[in-house]
Structure 1
Amino acid sequence: MITIRDVAKQAGVSVATVSRVLNNASSSEKARLAVQSAVKKLGYSPNANAQALASQNTDTIGVVVTDVTDSFFAILVKAVDQVAAEYGKNILIGIGYHHIEKERNAIETLLRKRCSCLVVHSKALSDEELKNYLDQVPGMVIINRSIAGYEHRCVSLDNQRGTFLATETLIKLGHKKIGYIGSNHLINDEVERKQGYLTALSQYGLPIIDDASIQNSPDFEGGEAAMVDLLSYHSDLTAVVAYNDNMAAGALSVLHENNINVPRQFSVIGFDDMPIARHIVPKLTTIRYPIDLMANYAAKLALSLVNENVDTPIHTQFNPTVVRRFSTDICIK
């Protein structure tokens, strides 16, 4: 697919110049002719929705999430809505379900609704396609993902660092045989979180155990199924790192059903610090993912990109942190 960057390269001008020409904004005659020639030669057809949005500001913020039934995304949406209310705006929500066509359709639908800016959580669309949207939609911000060259419009967390901290926490409690329960979704989050677990084992000189890493759906049921598999493969594991809190809760359920005491006999640590972590028994040790703070920042950043009266928020480095509760303890084996 021909993108606005291809046009800029062909014309020998910046992406911003191409955008100005396509939106009939002020530009030099030389640049205008160069861009028009490149558009014709390449057969470039600008996205009509994005082009309209680039020149029209409205009072609606679009939010694209994976699944509003997941508490992680519910917190994200709530944070954006709070910012919208602060600035007298409304929000519209699109749902992507980790699916390319659904994510694309969610973005396109919000653009047709003339959202003035977008906070987009996308895992299925390619970097190239998202770059094309970012080039054409001035108020678009990506959350929970970093795209090279657009870092100033991306808000993300170091997933690998998070699971490294989780695994390190268990190792420092004396655990040497640690399993990992991961997501079966083909997304970077899973790759990064598993790598953090493996890096910690390697750094502390612990072996990587065969079949001690199991993937399943990133929900309670997936955590249950993965924990059953881990127990089937290994009777000597003493701890597990879970991809998220929902999977950790499923693992706790299976351990309880098998009369394995947590944390006296087995330790479990989750990821995200969702409300469920504070309400299950025992309360879950987990890695805090500050999605509320990140979504607040992303929404203000998106607004500032299209409204000069909104101050650009001061960039803050968001970091994963360990939240210690009662599902982890010193290894007794």
Structure 2
Amino acid sequence: MATIKDIAQAAGVSLATVSRVINNGPKVGKDTRQRVKLIMEEMGYRPNANARALVTKRSASLGVVLAELHDPFFAMLAHGVETVTRKNNVQILLSAGSIEKETELRAIEILLEHRVEAMVVHSKALDDKTLIDFAKQVPGFVLINRYIPEIANRCVWLDNVTGGRLMAEHAINQGHKNLAVISSQYRIDDPNHRLEGIVNAVEAAKLSLPESMIEYATPDQEGGELAMQNLLATGAEFTAVLAYNDAMASGAMTMLQDHGIAVPEQVSVMGYDDVLLAKYCRPKLTTLRYPIEMMAAKAAELALKYAAGAKPEEGLTFKYTPTIVKRDSVVRV
């Protein structure tokens, strides 16, 4: 493989001139620049991304830690990051954390082994102290979908308490008094915060939400089916179901329809996230839009900015709020 020295010799210029051409630097004539680029192409020269990063003071790559690679939600997150990296000519390195402490830790360590100084991390299993320590070590360390007060200026997060409240308020405003909830079984903040918001809205409306009306399962379609099956088996009476995410809502609707219960005529169902699936459910799913692509793009911009030397501003954080998307799965009673 050709080296920078080979290019300099073939072009009859100095190593410094070749370096300036590679990094789009000044003080190189137009003809010389074109000649050096042509020789680089003919000799199959590929610049060392890490070496270029040292010269330009810009990260050559941005690492992303996702919970799962197959989940549509995280595909949207990755796409949001990619819109920024493409614009900045930066490559993405993906690593999966699987919402497990050791796996998340290893995912971050792998990125560090690749000398990544800008990273967007979705971590639910690691404790606050570990993530704060990483933020001290890695200049461009940014958390997405998590808030830690000590590093608030490195957190891009969603107000899930408000999201849960908006869900319940929408159902209650449509006349639903008997609500059921299907939530994630994972012991992380997101389901806890959404349930907190739901309970706040229910209490504000002077209604009740017994524990027997809350079922927990894996946050996917199969989990939604199982949670709904368990609710139906208890003989519980409800007119609206609030689901942890769109996948669980979709599974719940399937189970209801399999039992001859019409959605939304007999039971309304509401999701959360507004992934592509929500538009193609039957009926189309009323849900909360989680602006994850927008948030991911912001997180990527911050990571690259901090990695380039900018200091996170004190007293700043990046909080987003979900919004209701009204479709066909919730009706007035």
TM-score range (shorter-chain normalised) is: 0.7 to 0.9
**Alpha carbons 2:154, 2:312 under 8 Å: kept:** no
Instruction: Please tell me whether residue 318 in structure 1 is matched to residue 315 in structure 2.
Output: no
Q: Aligned partner of 1:195: which letter? A: E
The 1:293/1:315 distance shift into structure 2, 3 A limit, reads: farther
Specify every segment of 5 or more residues in structure 2 that has no aligned partner in the other structure, as ranges.
Answer: 1-52
Give the match for residue 109 of structure 2: 108
In angstroms, what is the RMSD of aligned CA positions? 2.2
Alignment of 1:35-184 (within 5 A): 58-184=59-185
Give the match for residue 3 of structure 1: none
User: Please, what TM-score do these two structures have when normalized by structure 2?
Assistant: 0.80
Q: Distance in 1 between matches of 2:80 and 2:117?
A: 17
**Paired residue for 1:328, among 327, 330, 333?**
330
Q: How much has 1:116 moved relative to structure 2?
A: 2.6
Q: Aligned partner of 1:226: which letter? A: A
Q: Aligned partner of 1:328: which letter? A: V
**Alpha carbons 1:163, 1:194 under 8 Å: kept:** yes
Deviations 1:73-132 (A, max 9, x none): 011111111211100100001100010110000000001111130000000000000000
Alignment of 1:183-198 (within 5 A): 183-198=184-199
User: Please, what TM-score do these two structures have when normalized by structure 1?
Assistant: 0.80
Q: Distance in 1 between matches of 2:209 and 2:327?
A: 26
Q: Aligned partner of 1:194: which letter? A: L
Indicate the SS of the match to 2:158. Answer: coil
Indicate the SS of the match to 1:91. Answer: strand
Q: How much has 1:311 moved relative to structure 2?
A: 12
Specify every segment of 5 or more residues in structure 1 that has no aligned partner in the other structure, as ranges.
Answer: 1-52
Q: Aligned partner of 2:66: which letter? A: V
Q: Aligned partner of 2:282: which letter? A: V
Q: Distance in 2 between matches of 1:98 and 1:70?
A: 13
Q: Distance in 2 between matches of 1:60 and 1:271?
A: 32
Q: How much has 1:235 moved relative to structure 2?
A: 4.1
Q: Distance in 2 between matches of 1:63 and 1:316?
A: 18
**Alpha carbons 1:164, 1:199 under 8 Å: kept:** yes
Q: How much has 1:264 moved relative to structure 2?
A: 1.1
Instruction: Please tell me whether residue 295 in structure 1 is matched to residue 296 in structure 2.
Output: yes
**Alpha carbons 1:58, 1:114 under 8 Å: kept:** no
The 1:67/1:228 distance shift into structure 2, 3 A limit, reads: same
Q: Which has the larger radius of gyration?
A: 2
Q: Distance in 2 between matches of 1:106 and 1:184?
A: 23
Q: Aligned partner of 1:154: which letter? A: C
Indicate the SS of the match to 2:150. Answer: coil
Instruction: State the structure with bigger RCO (CA 8 A, min sep 6), 1 or 2.
Output: 2
**Alpha carbons 2:157, 2:318 under 8 Å: kept:** no
Q: How much has 1:277 moved relative to structure 2?
A: 0.2
- Residue correspondences, number: 278
**Alpha carbons 2:249, 2:270 under 8 Å: kept:** yes
Q: Aligned partner of 2:151: which letter? A: Y
Deviations 1:105-160 (A, max 9, x none): 00000011111300000000000000000011110000000011211110000111
Give the match for residue 47 of structure 2: none
The 1:116/1:146 distance shift into structure 2, 3 A limit, reads: same
Instruction: Point out 4+ residue stretches in structure 1 off by more than 3 angstroms.
Output: 308-312, 314-317
| Of 220-229 and 299-308, the range deviating more from structure 2 | 299-308
Fraction of identical pairs, as percent: 41
Give the match for residue 265 of structure 1: 266
Indicate the SS of the match to 1:150. Answer: helix
**Alpha carbons 2:144, 2:157 under 8 Å: kept:** yes
Q: Distance in 1 between matches of 2:312 and 2:100?
A: 34
Q: Aligned partner of 1:318: which letter? A: Y
Give the match for residue 245 of structure 1: 246
Indicate the SS of the match to 1:264. Answer: coil
Q: How much has 1:190 moved relative to structure 2?
A: 1.2
Indicate the SS of the match to 2:212. Answer: coil
Deviations 1:188-215 (A, max 9, x none): 1111111111111111100122410000
Q: How much has 1:287 moved relative to structure 2?
A: 0.6
